[in-house]
Every structure is written in C-alpha cells, then in structure tokens.
Amino acid sequence: MPSKPAPLRAPRRAASKTDDERPRDSKIPRKSGRPAKAPRSPSSPALPDVPDPLETQFLQFMQVERNASALTLKNYAQGLRALRTGFPAFRAWPDLTADDFRAWLFLLMKRELGRATIRVQFAALRSFFKFLTRRAGLTANPLLEVQLPKAQRSLPVVLTLGQIDELLTLPLTLKPDGAQRSAVWAPQRDAAILELFYSTGLRLHELVKLDVGDINHLEESLRVTGKGRKDRLCPVGGPALRAIQHYRVAAGVHDGPLFLSKLRRRITMRAVNDLLQKYLRHSTIGFKVSPHKLRHSFATHLLNNGADLRSVQELLGHANLSTTQIYTHVSTTRMKQVYDAAHPRA
C-alpha cells in the first residue's frame, strides 16, 4: 500500500529555485553575467523535469488506490496542467479560491470550449481538491462553491438497420481504388472490426486493446477491459465471430494483439476511425458517423427489439443506469414516430 502523502504545507520559495519556478513578479536579483530569460507564457506546457509534487501524489493515488485507467490519468493530468499553465493568476494550488475557479471557468467558456470538455477539466480539479482535503491537510475545498454549466444531453445519432447492413458489407465488396497500399488482408480485418463494433457495442479504446486471448470462440464471448480497468464479458454474434476467424486466418494472427496495422503492430484508434470514414465515403449514409455511433446503434437496436435496460447497461459497461437511460428516449421517439405514421387517430 502506498505511503500516505505528507500534510500540505504553505509553499516556500528557496533561494536556489530556478528562474522558471519564481513568481512572475519576483524581485530576486539574477546572478550577474547570465542573460535574463523571457517569462514563460501562461499557456506553455509545464517543464517535464519540474513536476508539481501535489499533482504527482494525486495521480499516483488515482493509479494505485483508485485503479484509474490510463485514459483517465491522461485527462486528469491535462486538466490540472491546463489551469496551472493557462490561468494568469495561478500562484500555488493551496492559494486558489472559489473566485479563481469561477474566473477559470469564464476563461474556458470565452474560448468556446464544449460543455463536455469543460466538465472533464473540472472533474479533474474536483477530484484533485477532494484528495487535497482528505489526504494532504487542505482545510477547505473552494470548488464546492463553484457551479458548472449543465451537461448537454442531446439524443444520440443512430443508424438504421439498412444503413448498418450497407456499412458492414462494404469492406469485402468495395473494389480497391488506385495503388494498393494496405495489407492484402486489410479488407478482412476491416470487416471484422465493423462487425465486432456492432455486435458488442464496444468503445473504441476497448476494441483496439483486444488480444487474441480475449476471445472465447466456444462460449461465443469476449473479455473486455473497460473504464476503471473493470472487466466484463460480452456475448458476440455469429457473423462477428466468423469475420474475426476469416481475418485471423488471412493475416496469420495467432497470439498477441487481435487487430493489426499493415506493419503488424497493434492498430491505433486513429487508424480505426480512418478506415470507418473511408467506407462512409463510399456509402449512401449522408451524415457523420464515428465509431461511438455504432455503439449507440447497438444499444438502441437492442432496446427496440425488447431488451431490458439493465441488460443493456451490463453489455455497455455503464457504471450508472442513468447513463444508459438516454437510449430509452431514442427508442421512445422512434415508437412515437411509428405510432403517428400508422395509427388512424394519432
């Protein structure tokens, strides 16, 4: 078990600090003979060799004790660094007040950042200051006085069954255009990826992390490591299993990462999104589709065909049922559309 962090103390400025660690209005004279350095821009990244000790303790706590995923740790580190380097009035974490955080919120909104992005940054700050009050001796949490803008809950975009069928057939029916720069087995891989997305409702980062050993062909299931490093079992449909088997035979994939790039390395999230966009350009689907919209389609089609909400929650790996409930609104909307179109006295 990691040692308990030392109690929070007021920051002290030692005479041996470097110029970049002094406050911008520091009056400490420079040593003669050395050229003066330009003040560091508030938006410039923190120096990698001078990490903030409180942030380091917090991220270690999140990784070891809270078992946070690599993506969560990355987002939290970026959220803390963004304020420390981008807020002109920043002095030290213990000195920040509720008014400082309101000013930071206003600055983010002036930059026209999305509400979801702002809420992710403040989620990092809230968790950090909760850690400081419970583990590092900070007496009060100023973020408790700050009210954030409400999250935008727009209904997810869902593909129809016809659009799903068209998209899933494209990898194996589309003729190569121009010079063939991909591996000869790339169409089989792409077909397996799209089939698996729709068959299981995986998140993009969950799919690219899959290994060959995560698939159980006998039980027709898949072991998935989701958010918070939580494992879950997902059933896999026959078409997806067959597509995966055809791809593995064509590419000679027997162990290690399941989906490979043409260099036979684990495929990246960007590459998966690029291949999806390639097939969309050759389809009749007239709106933007991301890998996550295949997840939306998976959940909505299940509910439209009688699946209960709790089962869909487990399949998606949602921690809270409220996150899954947005798909019930999509199903209700479709049901009303069918009712209005078909009922004589609607």
Give a yes or no: residue 172 inside a domain: yes
The two tokens of residue 184 are 């000869």
In the predicted model, residues of the chain with pLDDT beneath 70 are 1-51, 152-155, 177-180, 228, 319, 321-335, 338, 346
Answer whether 116's CB lies under 8 Å from 152's CB: yes
Give a yes or no: residue 39 inside a domain: no
Rounded CA separation 149/138 (Å): 26
- Other Cβ atoms within 10 Å of 136 Cβ, number: 21
pLDDT of residue 127: 95
- CATH of residue 273's domain is 1.10.443.10
Is the domain of 130 the same as that of 172? no
pLDDT of residue 177: 65
Rounded CA separation 125/143 (Å): 8
Give a yes or no: residue 64 inside a domain: yes
Give a yes or no: residue 34 inside a domain: no
| Core vs surface per residue 237-262: b (16+ CB within 10 A) or e | eeebbebbebbbebbebeeebbbbee
Is the domain of 87 the same as that of 175? no
Is the domain of 105 the same as that of 228? no
Is the domain of 260 the same as that of 321? yes
Q: How far is CA 320 from the centre of its chain?
A: 17
Give a yes or no: residue 282 inside a domain: yes
pLDDT of residue 58: 95
Is the domain of 186 the same as that of 274? yes
Is the domain of 105 the same as that of 181? no
What is the residue range of 100's domain?
A: 47-145
Q: Cα angle at 338 between 238 and 197, to 5 degrees?
A: 25
- CATH of residue 100's domain is 1.10.150.130
Give a yes or no: residue 23 inside a domain: no
Give a yes or no: residue 102 inside a domain: yes
Distances (CA, A) of 93 to 49, 99, 119, 199: 19, 14, 19, 46
Q: Which residues are catalytic?
A: 203, 227, 292, 295, 318, 327
Is the domain of 90 the same as that of 213? no
Is the domain of 180 the same as that of 273? yes
Is the domain of 61 the same as that of 199? no
pLDDT of residue 246: 96
Is the domain of 140 the same as that of 178? no
Rounded CA separation 41/190 (Å): 44
Q: Please state the domain count of the chain.
A: 2
Is the domain of 80 the same as that of 211? no
Pairing relationship of beta strands 231-235 and 221-225 according to DSSP bridges: antiparallel
Among the three residues 118, 145, 172, which one is the final residue of a domain in this structure?
145
Among the three residues 104, 120, 145, which one is the final residue of a domain in this structure?
145
Rounded CA separation 314/307 (Å): 12
Q: Kindly report the three-state secondary structure assignment for every residue of the chain.
A: CCCCCCCCCCCCCCCCCCHHHCCCCCCCCCCCCCCCCCCCCCCCCCCCCCCCHHHHHHHHHHHHCCCCCHHHHHHHHHHHHHHHHHCCCCCCHHHCCHHHHHHHHHHHHHCCCCHHHHHHHHHHHHHHHHHHHHHCCCCCCHHHHCCCCCCCCCCCCCCCHHHHHHHHHHHHHCCCCCCCCCCCCHHHHHHHHHHHHHHHCCCHHHHHCCEHHHEECCCCEEEEECHHHCEEEEECCHHHHHHHHHHHHHHCCCCCECCECCCCCECCHHHHHHHHHHHHHCCCCCCCCCHHHHHHHHHHHHHHCCCCHHHHHHHHCCCCHHHHCHHHHHHHHHHHHHHHHHCCCC
Rounded CA separation 83/121 (Å): 9
pLDDT of residue 331: 64
Give a yes or no: residue 205 inside a domain: yes
| Phi, psi dihedral angles at 177 (to 5 degrees) | -105, 125
Rounded CA separation 154/149 (Å): 15
Is the domain of 117 the same as that of 58? yes
